[in-house]
Amino acid sequence: MTVIETDSLSKRYPGVTALDRLTVDIGPGVTGLVGANGAGKSTLIKILLGLAPASDGSARVLGRDSARDGSAIRERVGYMPEHDCLPPDVSATEFVVHMARMSGLPRTAARERTADTLRHVGLYEERYRPMGGYSTGMKQRVKLAQALVHDPELVLLDEPTNGLDPAGRDEMLGLIRRVHTDFGISVLVTSHLLGELERTCDHIVVIDGGKLLRSQATTGFTATIGSLAVEVTDTDAHPDGTAALRDALTAAGLTVAEEPGRLLLVELPPATDPNPSKPPTDPRVEPSGDTTPADGIRDAHDLVRDAVADLGLGLVRMEQRRHRIAEVFQQRPATPAAPDERKGATADVR
């Protein structure tokens, strides 16, 4: 099932191409839309909601054409805008009730839904105070509440962690995750911080300069590449044991990077099949003798163990690590990257 699909979607402003032939399918669940400032995230959201026309191509949201059926889409989709748009003189309750009424809820239902939604986002007594005195975190919560109040099937959240400190960001990301797990609402959440979506999203779409860089399940980002962290002791024969091991492993054909603290990172082969077009292996069929990723990982372990033993070094630790999303996007010239990794990304990877 597809929740959002775009087909060669382009948006041109005078002198700027905000979206450039973007074709992407997004399914249910929590999807992160990542890109540096100006990558085209807000533009995409506005087109999906039918609030801005595309220059070329098409977009469908919940099966409806965003160019023709904008108002029908907005009935079923909630939107949390990036910028502050809250009237300072009214309370969160008054504002969210108003938004619920605008969405067509009767008065009593609007009040009940508002109370439930504000409770869900963690606003209690403060909900009766004018919003002008709210902290950034409270304002972001009100913006999230008004996106949820009419019980949408999908919410589009534009930079919901903007302006929040690390603790506030974590809380907001937890809330966003619960929007899906507690209510079954699908979420598209934008951020220029690639790393923060790693724990929250099932799927990540990365855009840069309005173009699609990558669209992949979060596990795919982190599981396809890994490394073995190895630390060894020095000996009289090898006063720099780390360097000796690095040279031995490199000579054995492994790609090795050195980290501060005498740690060597040995690249492992992909742990999952990086080529999704390849048919899955039938588990009932005996292995044909071809090497698999698991074989490659075992071989790397064996090579490290043997090299350490041959050099007579002490092995302090050898542990497998999965890369975090942010690392996947850092340039790693020592490793021949898969074609779509080679495109690189300009998203902020803090």
Ligand X SMILES: Nc1ncnc2c1ncn2[C@@H]1O[C@H](COP(=O)(O)OP(=O)(O)OP(=O)(O)O)[C@@H](O)[C@H]1O
Q: Which of 49, 59, 58 is nearest to 155 (CA)?
A: 49
**Which of 8, 13, 316, 340 is in the footprint of ligand X by CB under 6 A?**
13
Q: Is 35 in the site for ligand X (CB under 6 A)?
A: yes
Pairwise CA distance, residues 153 & 29, whole Å: 11
Q: Which stretch binds ligand X (CB under 6 A): 41-49, 122-130, 141-149, 238-246?
A: 41-49
**What is the spatial distance between Cα 345 and Cα 200, in angstroms, rounded to a whole number?**
20
Q: What angle do CA 78, 79, 85 make, to 5 degrees?
A: 135
Between 16 and 85, name the residue whose CB sits nearer to ligand X: 16
- Using CB under 6 A, which of 4, 9, 30, 39 touches ligand X? 39
Q: Are 273 and 293 in contact (CB under 8 A)?
A: yes
Collapsing DSSP states into helix, strand and coil, what is residue 198? coil
Write the interaction track for ligand X spanning residues 178-217; mark x where CB under 6 A is met and - where it is not: --------------x-------------------------
Alpha carbon distances (Å) from 20 to 152, 191, 207: 29, 19, 10
Applying CB under 6 A, does 40 fall inside the site for ligand X? Answer: yes
Choice between 36 and 248, CB closer to ligand X: 36
Tokens 């004018």 belong to: 130
Work out whether the CA dihedral 249, 250, 253, 255 comes out positive or negative: positive
Nearer to ligand X (CB atom), residue 192 or residue 323: 192
Asked if 161 is part of the footprint of ligand X (rule: CB under 6 A), the reply reads: no
What is the rounded distance in angstroms from the CA atom of residue 147 to the CA atom of residue 159? Answer: 13
Q: Is 16 in the site for ligand X (CB under 6 A)?
A: yes
Q: Which window, 37-45, 95-103, 235-243, 265-273, contacts ligand X (CB under 6 A)? A: 37-45
CA distance 192 to 217: 18
Measured from the CB atom, is 123 or 176 closer to ligand X? 176
Least separation, in Å, of the C-beta of 53 and ligand X? Answer: 12
Q: Rule CB under 6 A: choose which of 6, 10, 43, 222 binds ligand X.
A: 43
Q: Say whether residue 41 binds ligand X (CB under 6 A).
A: yes
Which C-beta is closer to ligand X: that of 159 or that of 171?
159
Strand-by-strand arrangement of the 4-13 sheet: 16-26, 4-13, 56-61, 64-65
**Contact between 118 and ligand X per CB under 6 A:** no
In the complex, the residues that contact ligand X under the rule CB under 6 A are 13, 16, 18, 35, 37-43, 82, 159, 192
